[in-house]
Amino acid sequence: MDASTPPMDSFTDNNTPTTTTSSMNNTLFPLPPTHFLSQPRPSGIASPSSSNRVVVDTTTLAAHDFDVDPRTGFMPPHPPIARLGGVGGENGAHGENGEYGKYGMYEAWEGILDEACAGAFRLGRDIGTETGGKEERWRGRVRELPILCITPLLDSEPHLRRAHHVLAWILHFYIHTHESGTEEVRIPPPITLPLLRVSREMHLPPLLTYSDDVLYNWGLNPQNSSLRTLTSFTSTASESHFYLTSARIELIGVRALGLMQDSLDELFVGDDIARTRITGFLGELAGVVGEMEGELGRMYGGCDVWVFYQYIRPWFQGESEEKRWVFEGIEMDPELEYPKELGGPSAGQSSLIHALDIFLGVHHTSDTDPDSSFLSRMQLYMPRHHRNFLSHLREQSRRRSLRAWVLESVANAEGEANTPLLNANTPLLNANTPLLNANTPLLSAYNSAVTALKKFRDAHIVLVARYIIGPAARVKTRGDSQSLGEGSYSKIKGEGEMKGEGEAKEEGEDEEETKGEEKDREALKGTGGTHLARFLKSVRDNTRDAVIQI
Ligand code: HEM
């Protein structure tokens, strides 16, 4: 062991005081002065427009530098800002003393978003060539918005987040209410310029990401403090349930982050006591991932399959070959680059699942599979501090791999200790060696954690078969994908018939269901642009391959 290597010093910051307020923080939920978000905003780029040139100190690598909270993980510990101008919404109180006055001008964006959310807007597919409709009138108002300067936002990460959220939702409303028969959609300067500038500050692509629709898209119901969704395309219970299921999985995953941290701390010591402890942690981790799978299964109980496929999912679509996005006005700011990453939001951008892969030593990249780089590309869509967290975790795992250590420990336990041949890259470390004893508790615990993640992915594949592949096949055979018209839109407010949890399919059933239409299925793409069936199965198979076989 390299004694100079520090342990995974922390995902969490247990010494954080909890009382002091900061000028930019929510008065209901004061952030401590040492909290990451109370620090000067660590803009990683030299933005000439920023008055704040402070660069984050990453030498300590403490959790708050990564914006990972001990209680809420990758979700923020306090409800995200619900309104930039501080008027109305759950942040309404902030406007009263003028504290948020400098954000007042952004009411223009918030108002336009309110209109879209309340408007029961139809997709371009359903609007067709109709002229003068409510969506077209709204699009006209978007084009007439002033081009707002983003400077007041630059000192506050939470406000920049909200700005990205608001502008990205307006963008998707704008794009997807566009008539579908054309090859490009032109995004007007009042959206292009602030969105690209805010995105540059945030190091994020300029469109909806998982952080916009899950991590920073929630508030608390005043009656019972349960989670509720802030922004929605359809205002349906199905859409809200879709986002909140991911949010709840993130919250369950907080315990997984804690167990990973504890394991890595023990791995640094690596003695017999550590082995016993890590065995316990891995067993617990399997249980937590099992709970995440259970929550995934609850998707069926609140998100109607047809409403999702037909009315919710199309809003997520990123740029495609069929419809190019043209950012008008980008030439007005020579510092802006034309965006390259324009894939729609996907839970593939959840840092939690990436962290589990890295920790357990599950590898997804292959030279032959073009989709295999998808998951690493998805890290570009994560908040940059979470991306840094994953890089740090990867670096730690490179120095000391849990998987290699499990193999080494098992071999040592069999009396073959200390052989220099035993490193993770030697053929000896493949599971067929008789040195490995299936009954070794550490090995079983490791395998149970990997298997739990594989089962999570099995369940996810079934979900995708149910919510995308099935309805797509139905549309193809019955031709019922066509517009159901505005009258029918109102039907989705009633949500039609809900599928019960009990209808979730058993493991492997997806294989059966999707065998027939191999070709159509292959052509189906995820919102992130993958060939979804092939991609998801390869990711699942990579997980299965990490199980150490005897
Ligand atoms: C109706 C519900 C869901 C559908 C239809 C769905 C669909 C998809 C699709 C099509 C992909 C392929 C990547 C892409 O192109 O976007 C994907 C990836 C992914 N989804 Fe979902 N998803 C759903 C819910 C969830 C939830 C609740 C989670 C949990 C956080 C989740 C986690 C993931 C992950 C981690 C990936 C990346 C592949 C992997 O690591 O296995 N999904 N999803």
- Backbone region of residue 485 per phi and psi (left: phi > 0; alpha: psi in -120 to 50; beta: other values): left
β-pairing, 324-327 vs 227-229, is unpaired
User: What is the number of other CB atoms lying within 10 angstroms of the CB of residue 407?
Assistant: 27
CATH code of residue 485: 1.20.58.480
Task: Supply the residue whose CA is at minimum distance from atom 38 of ligand 1.
Answer: 348
Ligand 1 pocket check for 299: Cβ under 6 Å: yes
The single-letter code of the amino acid at 261 is Q
Range name among 82-96, 160-174, 202-216, 256-270 with the lowest pLDDT average: 82-96
Calculate Rg over the CA atoms of the chain: 24
Range name among 11-25, 286-300, 412-426, 490-504 with the lowest pLDDT average: 11-25
Ligand 1 pocket check for 385: Cβ under 6 Å: no
pTM of the model: 0.83
Ligand 1 centroid, distance to 494 Cα (angstroms):
26
Ligand 1 pocket check for 73: Cβ under 6 Å: no
**Which residues lie across from 187 on neighbouring strands?**
327
Is the predicted pLDDT of residue 405 greater than 70, yes or no? yes
Q: Which atom of ligand 1 is nearest to the CA of 528?
A: 15
pLDDT of 492 reads 52
Ligand 1 pocket check for 209: Cβ under 6 Å: no
Best residue for ligand 1 mutational test, from 375, 460, 466 (most atoms within 8 Å of Cβ) = 460
Task: Supply the residue whose CA is at minimum distance from atom 18 of ligand 1.
Answer: 348
pLDDT of 480 reads 54
Distance CA 366, CA 373 (A): 8
Best residue for ligand 1 mutational test, from 372, 464, 535 (most atoms within 8 Å of Cβ) = 464
Q: pLDDT confidence of 245, banded at 50, 70, 90?
A: very high
pLDDT of 390 reads 96
**Which residues lie across from 229 on neighbouring strands?**
218
DSSP string, 484-545: -HHHHHHHHHHT-PPPPGGGPPPTTHHHHHHSTTHHHHHH-B-TTS-BHHHHHHHHHHHHHH
Is the predicted pLDDT of residue 508 greater than 70, yes or no? no
Ligand 1 centroid, distance to 347 Cα (angstroms):
5
Best residue for ligand 1 mutational test, from 252, 346, 357, 535 (most atoms within 8 Å of Cβ) = 346
| Residues whose CB is less than 8 angstroms from the CB of residue 503 and which lie 6 or more positions away in sequence, other chains included | 300
The single-letter code of the amino acid at 77 is P
Q: Whose CA is closest to 454, among 515, 527, 538?
A: 538
Asked if residue 89 belongs to a domain, the reply is no
Task: Supply the residue whose CA is at minimum distance from atom 34 of ligand 1.
Answer: 348
Task: Supply the residue whose CA is at minimum distance from atom 6 of ligand 1.
Answer: 464
Output the six-digit token pair for 481: 């994908």
Ligand 1 pocket check for 296: Cβ under 6 Å: yes
Asked if residue 538 belongs to a domain, the reply is yes
Is the predicted pLDDT of residue 212 greater than 50, yes or no? yes
Comparing 471 with 36, the larger pLDDT belongs to 471
> Which run of H or E residues covers position 399?
helix 384-399
User: What is the number of other CB atoms lying within 10 angstroms of the CB of residue 241?
Assistant: 21
Ligand 1 pocket check for 215: Cβ under 6 Å: no
Q: pLDDT confidence of 549, banded at 50, 70, 90?
A: confident
Is the predicted pLDDT of residue 28 greater than 50, yes or no? no
Mean pLDDT of all residues in 470-491: 62
Q: Whose CA is closest to 443, among 214, 278, 324, 305?
A: 278
The percentage of residues in the chain with a pLDDT greater than 90, rounded to a whole number, is 63
Output the six-digit token pair for 532: 């979804």
Range name among 96-110, 327-341, 454-468 with the lowest pLDDT average: 96-110
| Cβ atoms 89, 117 nearer than 8 A | no
Q: Which atom of ligand 1 is nearest to the CA of 295?
A: 27
Please name the residue that has the structure tokens 């020579």: 334
pLDDT of 550 reads 66
Mean pLDDT of all residues in 128-153: 96
Ligand 1 pocket check for 251: Cβ under 6 Å: no
Q: Whose CA is closest to 149, among 200, 105, 113?
A: 105
ipTM of the complex: 0.97
Ligand 1 centroid, distance to 302 Cα (angstroms):
17
Task: Supply the residue whose CA is at minimum distance from atom 37 of ligand 1.
Answer: 348
Ligand 1 centroid, distance to 483 Cα (angstroms):
26
Asked if residue 188 belongs to a domain, the reply is no
Is the predicted pLDDT of residue 489 greater than 60, yes or no? no
Asked if residue 9 belongs to a domain, the reply is no
Comparing 106 with 90, the larger pLDDT belongs to 106
Ligand 1 pocket check for 532: Cβ under 6 Å: yes
The reply, when asked if residue 460 is annotated as ligand binding, is yes
Asked if residue 215 belongs to a domain, the reply is no
The mean pLDDT of the chain is 80
Comparing 227 with 87, the larger pLDDT belongs to 227
Comparing 216 with 533, the larger pLDDT belongs to 216
Mean pLDDT of all residues in 392-419: 82
Is the predicted pLDDT of residue 253 greater than 80, yes or no? yes
Overall number of domains in the chain: 1
Output the six-digit token pair for 43: 């803009």
Ligand 1 centroid, distance to 346 Cα (angstroms):
6
Comparing 379 with 525, the larger pLDDT belongs to 379
Mean pLDDT of all residues in 536-550: 93
Ligand 1 pocket check for 348: Cβ under 6 Å: yes
Distance CA 170, CA 220 (A): 23
Ligand 1 centroid, distance to 460 Cα (angstroms):
7
Q: Which atom of ligand 1 is nearest to the CA of 525?
A: 15
pLDDT of 411 reads 79
Q: pLDDT confidence of 412, banded at 50, 70, 90?
A: confident
Mean pLDDT of all residues in 248-253: 98
Residue-number span of the structural domain to which 301 is assigned: 237-307+339-545
Ligand 1 centroid, distance to 477 Cα (angstroms):
25
> pLDDT tens, 298-340?
999 999 999 999 999 999 999 999 899 999 999 999 999 999 9
pLDDT of 96 reads 42
pLDDT of 415 reads 61
Asked if residue 301 belongs to a domain, the reply is yes
Q: Which atom of ligand 1 is nearest to the CA of 467?
A: 5
Ligand 1 pocket check for 349: Cβ under 6 Å: no
Q: pLDDT confidence of 97, banded at 50, 70, 90?
A: very low
Burial class of residue 15 (count of CB atoms within 10 Å of its CB; 0-12, 13-18, 19+) = exposed
Q: Give the torsion sign (CA, 491, 243, 511, 527).
A: positive
| Residues whose CB is less than 8 angstroms from the CB of residue 203 and which lie 6 or more positions away in sequence, other chains included | 44, 45, 384, 387
Output the six-digit token pair for 64: 């708050």
Asked if residue 76 belongs to a domain, the reply is no
Is the predicted pLDDT of residue 366 greater than 80, yes or no? no
DSSP string, 407-445: HHHHHIIIIITT-TT-STTSGGGSTT-TT--TT-HHHHH
Is the predicted pLDDT of residue 486 greater than 50, yes or no? no
> pLDDT tens, 160-198?
999 999 999 999 999 999 987 789 999 999 999 999 999
Mean pLDDT of all residues in 241-269: 97
Ligand 1 pocket check for 467: Cβ under 6 Å: yes
Ligand 1 pocket check for 460: Cβ under 6 Å: yes
Ligand 1 pocket check for 256: Cβ under 6 Å: no
Distance CA 193, CA 191 (A): 6
pLDDT of 294 reads 98
| Residues whose CB is less than 8 angstroms from the CB of residue 96 and which lie 6 or more positions away in sequence, other chains included | none
Asked if residue 264 belongs to a domain, the reply is yes
Is the predicted pLDDT of residue 90 greater than 70, yes or no? no
Output the six-digit token pair for 216: 């920073």
pLDDT of 409 reads 84
Q: pLDDT confidence of 26, banded at 50, 70, 90?
A: very low
| Cβ atoms 112, 146 nearer than 8 A | no
Ligand 1 pocket check for 457: Cβ under 6 Å: yes
DSSP-derived letter for residue 25 is: S
β-pairing, 184-187 vs 218-220, is unpaired
Q: Which atom of ligand 1 is nearest to the CA of 378?
A: 37
Comparing 330 with 515, the larger pLDDT belongs to 330
pLDDT of 63 reads 63
Please name the residue that has the structure tokens 């010494």: 15
- First-to-last alpha carbon distance for the chain, in angstroms, is 26
Ligand 1 centroid, distance to 348 Cα (angstroms):
6
Task: Supply the residue whose CA is at minimum distance from atom 7 of ligand 1.
Answer: 464
Ligand 1 pocket check for 246: Cβ under 6 Å: yes
